[in-house]
Amino acid sequence: MSPHLSWLLLLLAGLFEVAWAVGLKYTNGFTRFWPSVGTAVALIVSIGLLAVALRSLPIGTAYAVWVGIGAVGTAVVGIVAFGESASLTRVLSLLLIVAGVAGLKFSTS
């Protein structure tokens, strides 16, 4: 598998991680059927795509990038969709995560 395809799959895996993390908010502790199903499907897709990407990417880098996409994406959705705080400290902290993820990606051949 080409490195470009692996990185694309990893990006998609990260986006599905955001989907299942946000989906947890709608499951009401897994008491709502359809939100729970959607969340479970997004989780399975996310981990499946991560597993495929790991065939050709280093585990430490790929996992950190996956988690970083999920963490930043979920925090941004929280700010935009749920009115969570967008304080300067919080935004700067998210930018530090983005910088770390970018550094890991660009330092991997």
pLDDT tens track, the chain, 109 positions = 898 999 999 999 999 999 999 999 999 999 999 999 999 999 999 999 999 999 999 999 999 999 999 999 999 999 999 999 999 999 999 999 999 999 988 887 6
Coil, strand or helix: which one is 31?
coil
Q: What is the pLDDT of residue 1?
A: 84
Can you read off the two tokens belonging to residue 23? 């989906």
- For 62, residues 6+ apart whose C-beta sits below 8 A from its C-beta are 10, 50, 53, 54
Per-residue pLDDT at 75: 98
Reported pTM: 0.92
Alpha helix (H) ranges present in 1-109?
Answer: 3-27, 33-53, 59-82, 88-106
Question: In angstroms, rounded to a whole number, what is the distance separating the alpha carbons of residues 100 and 109?
Answer: 16
